[in-house]
Chain A
Amino acid sequence: MSKFENKNNEEVPKDFFIKFGEKMKDKILEEEIFNVEDFPLLHSIKKEEDFHTPESYFEKINYRNYIKVRKSKLLVPVISIAASLLIISSIFLFKQQSKVSNEVFAMNDETQFELLVQESIFSDDIEIEELDFLFESSNSEMDLTEFDTDVIINYLLEESELYDLALVY
């Protein structure tokens, strides 16, 4: 038996010596490499609460604030994408309609128009009302800006997949 071993059978808490070693290691780790007296001015300054916050500042901080902020931050790119897609699709649809109407209006006589109908742009089952509409419009310049903007936007929205996104917007 080693002369350092417990000869008196005195009890110590379980793992006391193992934990003691760890405790000492942590304590040494936290020791400063200087003495407090080396910096007397710094260490004699009281750590008073010199900073304040607006009244009830901490009470007003709620986890929901951050969830909301995050959601609204996420919404911005979604709305931007939706708006961009809406503009692009509006331009595309506008161009398509202009192209059709330009081609239609470029024809001066009825024969050419009938030919066009037969050939390709419109299918055989095209509604008479739609043809009339185009025909009448040939007298005045087909200008979408003459229509109410809201009506056009609503039409485009209803026709496009962006409708749900635009509702959020």
Chain B
Amino acid sequence: MNKEDTEILDLLKSSNSFEQGFNKLVSKYKQPLYWHIRRMVLIHEDADDILQNVFIKVYKSIGKFKRQSKLFTWLYRIASNESISFLNKKRSLQNYSANLRSSLKADPYFNGDNIQLALKEAIEELPKKQKQVFILRYYDELNYKDMAEILDTSVGSLKASYHHASKKIEEYLIQMDVKV
């Protein structure tokens, strides 16, 4: 674990310094966690809600953190699980992927071009676990060792999963006649 995270955890141990520690944790991780969640759920408002839930969960359960894993992999695991359960609950009602292109075009917080839109559609077509692996590797640029800790899976299966996801996305882009 890196020095800064160790310091945060030490501050969180004592009730006198708890607020300071939690402040540091939120400051350090709000952006990386937000972007991970946003890539998963796409809509800013949803990402904002999920981020709040993540930090509330962290606030409630940080006392149980045993330092057996890295702080950041633990946080990513919570964020990732929250995003997946959101997708399971909400998206099943909305049929979001069918209207993805029009939804993203109408989204004031998205300004990607057609290539980016096609990429988003391709990612959205992936099974949820594969999507999770792809986002962690492609956008968050995490290493396989940390991803294995976050997703509780072996490095080998993560590599295979990332390979399958990349292949499907490439095929989708070809099918959509994307020219880069």
Contacts and interface: CB of A to CB of B under 8 A. Distances in A.
Interface range on chain A (Cβ under 8 Å from partner): 20 to 34
Contacts of A73: 56
15 contacts: A33-B163, A34-B163, A41-B170, A45-B180, A50-B111, A51-B35, A51-B38, A53-B34, A53-B44, A58-B31, A58-B34, A61-B26, A61-B51, A63-B25, A63-B26
Interface of chain A: mostly helix, strand, loop or mixed: helix
A40 B170 CA distance: 8
A66 B23 CA distance: 10
B144 A41 contact: no
B130 to A, nearest CB: 14
A34 to B, nearest CB: 5
Interface string A29-53: 1101110001111101101101111
Given A48-B112, A48-B116, A58 B30 contact: yes
B148 to A, nearest CB: 9
A115 interface: no
Interface of B: 19, 22-23, 25-27, 30-31, 34-35, 38-39, 42, 44, 48, 51-52, 55-56, 59-60, 109-113, 115-116, 119-120, 138-139, 143-145, 155, 159-160, 162-163, 166-167, 169-170, 173-174, 178, 180
Contacts of A32: 159, 162-163
Contacts of B111: 50, 52
Contacts of A38: 166-167, 170
Contacts of B51: 61
Contact of B144 (A29, A47, A50, A57): A29
A41 B109 contact: no
A32 B27 CA distance: 33
B174 A67 contact: no
B68 to A, nearest CB: 20
Nearest to B119: A45
Given A26-B145, A58-B31, A51 B115 contact: no
A52 B115 CA distance: 17
